[in-house]
Chains A and B, each alone.
Chain A
């Protein structure tokens, strides 16, 4: 692959910004003014020295194969404004002749490689298998006790009737969630918390509560009968309960991965930022969801520009309908995609979701490229309608979508057909990225 000549567009660079302030600050550094000793290498390393307000200029280096960033500035954001500015400068003007990297940049790259090698060998290293097995059994027993308790609670609620739930309030569910945390089943705890919020969320709540309660019950039963389940379903149950599947046992797919969308969500207690990155294998057609996490006040490290293609190995975790993946080694710097992805009809999108439910009945949505479709704004709700025909999906706003994103989608469409990537599920379709006809450049709806 020779992709060295391909520069990222400014949109792709700015999409990496962890927040609005960095975006603005980075944009201001995207001119030649403060920069010196800039350059890039065929191996995807980009470097430069940026004069700030202090006496010592900052040294900024980016490894495009990651992408990974390093800067001598004190910012705790990744990428920092200098890294953004450097990439913007490169996207606007390029650096001319390629040259050798300065020592400080080369050292950082070498350090990264060494660390990756160490991590790889550590993963393969011998572990105390006996001790690990005992720990796993002990945890499974605690989860089973928690599951049994939760089943009891669900049955009690149904025996007494959901009607009483509005008076009972949230506190008992919060307490149950805490018990699930104690039982080391974070997946169950999250579902219980969600369940507790339903009685206060408006008309139709009893049906929703019954749905979610029943799915939780299904998960409990799955856990208690784990031994009798087929392997992939058992893995799904384990991961839904909150036992992280081991990536080591996952299936490895090497492909050219198109980045379809990326968005962050913050946990209800504000302590953890989860970054979701949706990919699609251009060869295999396979969707992949890469999760990355960041502690409070610090965005997750993984930043992949929407619309780029990276050639890499993805290791799929067992279960959860084969969506969760970890990206392995990347072969070449990411390059821009040259055409919008092919879309499917609204009916096919729901079928895809339905099919995925066979493998993971707890799945809320499935990643789908829809198109050509026409957005229909409506006061009671938006729809995405097949350009040919009369079928439509209702639009649901959740996760990474916002009202202003919807208007952006309408503006792009102007009443005509567009291609839209998003999450298609039982609540509706959540649009995340859009393409105008014939234009390969994606617009992240934000």
Chain B
């Protein structure tokens, strides 16, 4: 009972013929027992019944507590009704029994569609339907990969709710929602949060300030730098990686003298990603002294200057120290320094040159160039180091490692990336393509999509089982352009498997393709639902 009873107006008309006074007295008598006072239990129950019904019948509202401030209005339009319904379904299916273990059958997978729904809704500029905001916040809490998009969609209403419910506090932190971060112009607010904030809030603040004015961030960082703990210095430094510019160089150059070795190494790494920096110039000089058309001469010692510029002296077990130093110098030297050194050759030609001094030097050098291409985000060098997609991976100019190649690929422009991977799949099949597909832009470009579908079809013809390709299948469900569904339709038939394939495999393939088609169709429908109705 929390509602207020009618204490005020029952005083005048309280029935006194019950023989008992206040309700509290009745409770006290009941607790003690009528036996001790020679009372009548039945009369006590009578009186209590009268009081109970009277109290209930006379309930009055309580005074209202402080109301929450109204949520700011979200000017964005709500999604069309079918899209709203779809979102409710996707959010409900998030934890639904349908997504549990077991064989997946031919039904489409709803879970993977949620991120795509959110992304598309974001592109259309919708706000979340109010009733679904709590489910959206729960989803954002459970899946960090959804967080930014879910919070953007939930918008002002989401932040308003998050302030009321501690479970959703996460939404108030981090850059995505804006949360309670002060305006970068608000000097006092920035200063206060920087001094008093939690670490995550301070990192978010640093990011916001940096977007607003790059130099202001390192100025802010300098104010407390000496007093920060080494782990925090490292994390702050690491957060500069995004949007690194020439303006950060003085701060980073100073950090090369830091007490912590990790901080020094990170500062050096960041500086080497700035080809114009003094460190990059020093590294270029050292690297050019070791590598040239005449061959490779690795450094003879790791001097104090190299140490200060972040070169790690001791190699890991099993590696020679001179090769180890060479790798670090080349990795940190700007790639632009090689053209001149090699008499004006382009990256592809330089990469193709034989390396005097033996195979192991070639490998060291190329691996270091790969790391440099990724660090400096240089598409030309990346392309040169990847080489031709159709030649056997072992003969690749830069590296045979798929992980390294995926990194190089991610530097290429979208179209070239899809083209390269498509060519790779045509030449080598799907078994090694998974990592490479993972860095391609979604939805897959037409050539890439068709290469994947053709390869899956070839795998079926060859009599293998679909679960050997479940990784690629899953990717395809997520990444294939819905327009491919019609092309795939012909593959869903069960009957036309080649005679030498076991019937079971054919059925599984048919089912896998059915699921793929169903998912693509559902995705097409879903994206269609999100399209605003025409004028």
A residues near B (Cβ < 8 Å) are 9-11, 14, 20-21, 23-25, 27-28, 31, 33, 53, 92, 151, 154-164, 204, 206-207, 209-211, 213-215, 217-218, 221, 346-347, 350, 353-355, 357-358, 361, 374, 376-378, 381, 383, 385-386, 389-394, 396, 404, 407-408, 410-412, 414-416, 425-428, 436, 443
Question: Are B110 and A28 in touch, CB under 8 angstroms?
Answer: yes
List 19 other contacts, CB 8 Å, given A28-B110, A207-B23, A217-B48. A24-B98, A155-B41, A158-B45, A159-B34, A163-B31, A210-B30, A211-B52, A213-B45, A214-B52, A350-B3, A350-B59, A355-B57, A381-B2, A386-B61, A390-B63, A391-B60, A392-B62, A411-B133, A426-B59
A393–B63 alpha-carbon span in the complex (Å): 8
* A162-B31, A207-B23, A381-B2 as given contacts; A25 in contact with B64, CB under 8 Å: no
* A28-B110, A390-B63 as given contacts; A408 in contact with B98, CB under 8 Å: no
CB of B35 within 8 Å of the partner chain: yes
Interface size of B in residues (CB-CB distance below 8 Å): 70
Question: Are B157 and A414 in touch, CB under 8 angstroms?
Answer: yes
Question: Are B3 and A394 in touch, CB under 8 angstroms?
Answer: yes
Question: Are B3 and A428 in touch, CB under 8 angstroms?
Answer: yes
A381–B52 alpha-carbon span in the complex (Å): 23
Question: Are A410 and B46 in touch, CB under 8 angstroms?
Answer: no
* A28-B98, A214-B52, A357-B56 as given contacts; A11 in contact with B26, CB under 8 Å: no
Question: Are A214 and B49 in touch, CB under 8 angstroms?
Answer: yes
Question: Are A10 and B85 in touch, CB under 8 angstroms?
Answer: yes
A128–B36 alpha-carbon span in the complex (Å): 54
Question: Are B106 and A53 in touch, CB under 8 angstroms?
Answer: yes
CB of B525 within 8 Å of the partner chain: yes
When the two chains form the complex, which single residue of B1, B60, B68, B131 contacts A427, counting CB atoms closer than 8 Å?
B1
Q: Mark B14-53, 1 if CB is under 8 A from A, else 0.
A: 0000000001001100111111100001101110110111
Question: Are A392 and B63 in touch, CB under 8 angstroms?
Answer: yes
Question: Are A21 and B134 in touch, CB under 8 angstroms?
Answer: no
A126–B64 alpha-carbon span in the complex (Å): 59
* A23-B92, A155-B41, A414-B157 as given contacts; A31 in contact with B63, CB under 8 Å: no
When the two chains form the complex, which single residue of A160, A217, A410 contacts B35, counting CB atoms closer than 8 Å?
A160
CB-CB < 8 A to B30: which residues of A? 158, 161-162, 206, 209-210, 213
Q: Mark B72-104, 1 if CB is under 8 A from A, else 0.
A: 000000000010010011001101111100000
Question: Are A358 and B57 in touch, CB under 8 angstroms?
Answer: yes
CB of B441 within 8 Å of the partner chain: no
Question: Are A214 and B130 in touch, CB under 8 angstroms?
Answer: no
A20–B91 alpha-carbon span in the complex (Å): 12
A376–B58 alpha-carbon span in the complex (Å): 24
Question: Are A31 and B65 in touch, CB under 8 angstroms?
Answer: no
When the two chains form the complex, which single residue of A204, A390, A412, A427 contacts B64, counting CB atoms closer than 8 Å?
A390
Question: Are A11 and B85 in touch, CB under 8 angstroms?
Answer: yes
A92–B89 alpha-carbon span in the complex (Å): 14
A377–B46 alpha-carbon span in the complex (Å): 38
Q: Report the minimal beta-carbon distance from A299 to chain B, rounded to whole angstroms.
A: 15
A361–B321 alpha-carbon span in the complex (Å): 91
When the two chains form the complex, which single residue of A163, A207, A381 contacts B32, counting CB atoms closer than 8 Å?
A163
**Stretch from B159-167, B204-212, B222-230 contacting the other chain:** B159-167
A346–B3 alpha-carbon span in the complex (Å): 11
A374–B27 alpha-carbon span in the complex (Å): 35
CB-CB < 8 A to B97: which residues of A? 20-21, 24
A126–B87 alpha-carbon span in the complex (Å): 56
Q: Report the minimal beta-carbon distance from B83 to chain A, rounded to whole angstroms.
A: 11
Question: Are B98 and A21 in touch, CB under 8 angstroms?
Answer: yes
* A10-B85, A161-B35, A210-B27 as given contacts; A350 in contact with B61, CB under 8 Å: yes
Question: Are B33 and A163 in touch, CB under 8 angstroms?
Answer: yes
Question: Are B61 and A391 in touch, CB under 8 angstroms?
Answer: yes
Question: Are A24 and B110 in touch, CB under 8 angstroms?
Answer: yes
B residues near A (Cβ < 8 Å) are 1-3, 23, 26-27, 30-36, 41-42, 44-46, 48-49, 51-53, 55-71, 82, 85, 88-89, 92-93, 95-99, 105-108, 110, 130-134, 157, 160-161, 164-165, 518, 521-522, 525
A167–B335 alpha-carbon span in the complex (Å): 83
> For residue B68, which residue of chain A has the nearest CB?
A415
Q: Report the minimal beta-carbon distance from B105 to chain A, rounded to whole angstroms.
A: 7
Question: Are B134 and A407 in touch, CB under 8 angstroms?
Answer: yes
Question: Are A20 and B96 in touch, CB under 8 angstroms?
Answer: yes
Q: Report the minimal beta-carbon distance from A135 to chain B, rounded to whole angstroms.
A: 31
Question: Are A377 and B31 in touch, CB under 8 angstroms?
Answer: no
CB-CB < 8 A to A207: which residues of B? 1, 23, 27
CB-CB < 8 A to B71: which residues of A? 414-416
A353–B88 alpha-carbon span in the complex (Å): 35
Query: Which 6 A-B pairs give the minimum distances between C-beta atoms?
Result: A161-B33, A214-B48, A415-B70, A414-B71, A391-B61, A385-B64
CB-CB < 8 A to A157: which residues of B? 41
CB-CB < 8 A to A53: which residues of B? 105-106
> For residue B42, which residue of chain A has the nearest CB?
A155
> For residue B33, which residue of chain A has the nearest CB?
A161
> For residue B57, which residue of chain A has the nearest CB?
A354
CB-CB < 8 A to B105: which residues of A? 53
A303–B32 alpha-carbon span in the complex (Å): 50
Residue of B3, B66, B96, B132 ringed by the most chain A CB atoms within 10 A: B3
Q: Report the minimal beta-carbon distance from B70 to chain A, rounded to whole angstroms.
A: 4
Q: Report the minimal beta-carbon distance from B385 to chain A, rounded to whole angstroms.
A: 46
A361–B57 alpha-carbon span in the complex (Å): 9
Question: Are B161 and A410 in touch, CB under 8 angstroms?
Answer: yes
Question: Are A377 and B68 in touch, CB under 8 angstroms?
Answer: yes
A299–B268 alpha-carbon span in the complex (Å): 66
CB-CB < 8 A to A393: which residues of B? 3, 61-62
Q: Report the minimal beta-carbon distance from A263 to chain B, rounded to whole angstroms.
A: 17
Question: Are B44 and A377 in touch, CB under 8 angstroms?
Answer: no
Question: Are A408 and B64 in touch, CB under 8 angstroms?
Answer: no
Question: Are B62 and A391 in touch, CB under 8 angstroms?
Answer: yes
A33–B106 alpha-carbon span in the complex (Å): 12
Question: Are A159 and B67 in touch, CB under 8 angstroms?
Answer: no
A361–B68 alpha-carbon span in the complex (Å): 36
A316–B58 alpha-carbon span in the complex (Å): 27
Question: Are B160 and A414 in touch, CB under 8 angstroms?
Answer: yes
Can you give 22 contacting A-B residue pairs, CB < 8 Å? A11-B88, A14-B89, A21-B96, A33-B521, A159-B41, A161-B35, A161-B36, A162-B30, A210-B48, A214-B49, A215-B49, A357-B56, A376-B67, A377-B164, A386-B61, A386-B64, A391-B63, A415-B67, A415-B69, A415-B71, A416-B70, A426-B3
When the two chains form the complex, which single residue of A24, A161, A357, A392 contacts B65, counting CB atoms closer than 8 Å?
A392
Q: Report the minimal beta-carbon distance from A277 to chain B, rounded to whole angstroms.
A: 21
CB-CB < 8 A to B521: which residues of A? 31, 33
* A415-B71, A443-B131 as given contacts; A354 in contact with B56, CB under 8 Å: yes
Q: Report the minimal beta-carbon distance from B329 to chain A, rounded to whole angstroms.
A: 57
A353–B3 alpha-carbon span in the complex (Å): 13
Question: Are A404 and B32 in touch, CB under 8 angstroms?
Answer: no
Question: Are B65 and A33 in touch, CB under 8 angstroms?
Answer: no
CB-CB < 8 A to B165: which residues of A? 377, 407
Question: Are B134 and A408 in touch, CB under 8 angstroms?
Answer: yes
Question: Are B60 and A347 in touch, CB under 8 angstroms?
Answer: yes
> For residue B105, which residue of chain A has the nearest CB?
A53
A215–B134 alpha-carbon span in the complex (Å): 40
Question: Are A411 and B67 in touch, CB under 8 angstroms?
Answer: no
A331–B88 alpha-carbon span in the complex (Å): 32
A427–B55 alpha-carbon span in the complex (Å): 12
* A414-B71, A426-B1 as given contacts; A392 in contact with B92, CB under 8 Å: no
When the two chains form the complex, which single residue of A155, A163, A211, A376 contacts B68, counting CB atoms closer than 8 Å?
A376
Question: Are A161 and B64 in touch, CB under 8 angstroms?
Answer: no
* A20-B97, A25-B98, A416-B70 as given contacts; A347 in contact with B92, CB under 8 Å: no
Residue of A28, A357, A386, A412 ringed by the most chain B CB atoms within 10 A: A28
A161–B67 alpha-carbon span in the complex (Å): 43
* A163-B31, A207-B23 as given contacts; A20 in contact with B61, CB under 8 Å: no
> For residue A20, which residue of chain B has the nearest CB?
B96
CB-CB < 8 A to B85: which residues of A? 9-11
Question: Are A414 and B3 in touch, CB under 8 angstroms?
Answer: no
